[in-house]
Structure 1
Amino acid sequence: MKKLSVLILSVYSVIAFGQKVSDFKYVSVPEKFQTFKNSFGLEKYLAQALKAKQYTPVSGDKSKWPTELVTNSCSVLNADVINDKTFLRNRVILQFKDCNDKVILESKGMTDIKEFEEGYQDALKQALLKVSVSNPVATLTIQPANTVTNNVVVPSEVVTANDTSPQTGASRFSNSRQDFQKVQIDANQFLLVKPNSSIPFATFKATTKKDVFRVKLENGNATIGYFENGNIVIEMPQSNGEYTKEVFSGK
Structure 2
Amino acid sequence: MKKTALFILTLSSLTAFAQSVSDYKYISLPTKFETFKEDFGLAELLTKTLRSKNYIVVPSDKLQWPSEAKDNPCNVLMADIINDSGFLRNKVLVKFKDCNDKEIQSIKGASNIKEYKEGYQDALKQTYVSISPSKPSNQIPVKAATTISATEEASTNSISAENSALKFSNGKMDLQKIQVDKNQFILVSSNSSSPFATFKNTTKNDVFRVKLQNGESTLGYFENGNIVIEIPQSDGEYAKEVFSKK
Report the secondary structure of 2:99's partner residue.
Answer: coil
The 8 Å contact of residues 24 and 139 in structure 2, kept in 1 or not, is answered as no
Deviation at 1:197, TM superposition (A): 7.7
Contact 2:26 2:76 in 1 (8 A): yes
Displacement after TM superposition at 1:128 (Å)? 2.3
The separation in 1 between residues aligned to 2:80 and 2:61, in whole angstroms, is 17
Partner of 1:63: 63
Partner of residue 112, structure 2 = 112
| Cα separation, 2, equivalents of 1:60 and 1:97 | 13
The alignment status of 1:73 with 2:62, answered yes or no, reads no
CA spacing shift, 1:31–1:140, aligned 2, 3 Å: farther
Which residue does the alignment assign to 1:26? 26
- The separation in 1 between residues aligned to 2:72 and 2:85, in whole angstroms, is 35
1:37, CA displacement in angstroms?
A: 0.7
Structure 1 residue 19: Cα displacement:
0.6
Note the C-alpha offset of 1:130. 1.0
Instruction: Give 2:91's aligned residue.
Output: 91
Name the SS of the counterpart of 2:106 in structure 1: strand
What is the SS of the residue equivalent to 2:130?
coil
Structure 1, gaps ≥5 residues long: 1-15, 142-195, 200-215, 223-251
Q: Distance in 2 between matches of 1:140 and 1:95?
A: 24
Asked whether the 8 Å contact 2:183–2:201 carries over to 1, the reply is no
Give the Cα separation in 2 of the matches to 1:113 and 1:217. Answer: 48
- Is the contact made by 1:58 and 1:65 (CA closer than 8 Å) also made in structure 2? yes
1:61 deviates by: 3.1
Q: SS at 2:127's partner residue?
A: helix
**TM-score, scaled to structure 1:** 0.49
Q: How does 1:37-186 map to 2 (within 5 A)?
A: 37-137=37-137, 139-140=139-140
**Structure 2: gaps (5+ residues):** 1-14, 142-180, 185-199, 203-207, 211-216, 218-246
Give the SS at the match of 1:27: strand
Quote the Cα distance in structure 1 between the aligned partners of 2:40 and 2:74.
29
Contact 1:97 1:103 in 2 (8 A): yes
AA aligned to 2:77 is L
Cα displacement string for residues 169-196 of structure 1 (whole angstroms, at most 9, x for unaligned residues): xxxxxxxxxxxxxxxxxxxxxxxxxxx9
What secondary structure sits across from 2:126 in the alignment?
A: helix
Name the amino acid aligned to 1:99.
C
Q: Deviation per CA, 1:14-44: give whole Å up to 9, x if none.
A: xx98211011111001121111111201111
SS at match of 2:38: coil
8 A Cα contact 1:68 1:198, kept in partner: no
| Counterpart secondary structure, 2:134 | coil
Q: Which one-letter code corresponds to 1:134 in the other structure?
A: S
Q: What is the aligned partner in structure 2 of residue 182 from structure 1? A: none
Provide the secondary structure at the position in 2 that maps to 1:80.
strand
State the secondary structure of the residue aligned to 2:123.
helix
Kindly tell me the number of residue pairs found equivalent between the two proteins. 137
Of 78-87 and 62-71, more deviation after overlay is shown by 62-71
Q: 1:66 to 1:110 in 2, by over 3 A?
A: same
- How many percent identity over aligned positions? 49
Distance 1:135 1:217 in 2: 27
Indicate if the aligned counterparts of 1:93 and 1:106 stay in contact, CA closer than 8 A. yes
Partners in 2 of 1:76 and 1:59 — Cα distance? 11
The whole-number CA distance in structure 2 between the counterparts of 1:88 and 1:82 is: 17
Q: TM-score normalized by structure 2?
A: 0.50
Q: In the alignment, is the contact (CA less than 8 A) between 1:66 and 1:198 conserved in 2?
A: no
Measured in 2, the distance between the counterparts of 1:121 and 1:114 equals 11
CA contact (8 A) 1:92 1:110 kept: yes
Q: What is the alpha-carbon distance in structure 1 between the residues aligned to residue 115 and residue 127 of structure 2?
A: 18
Output the amino acid matched with 2:66: P
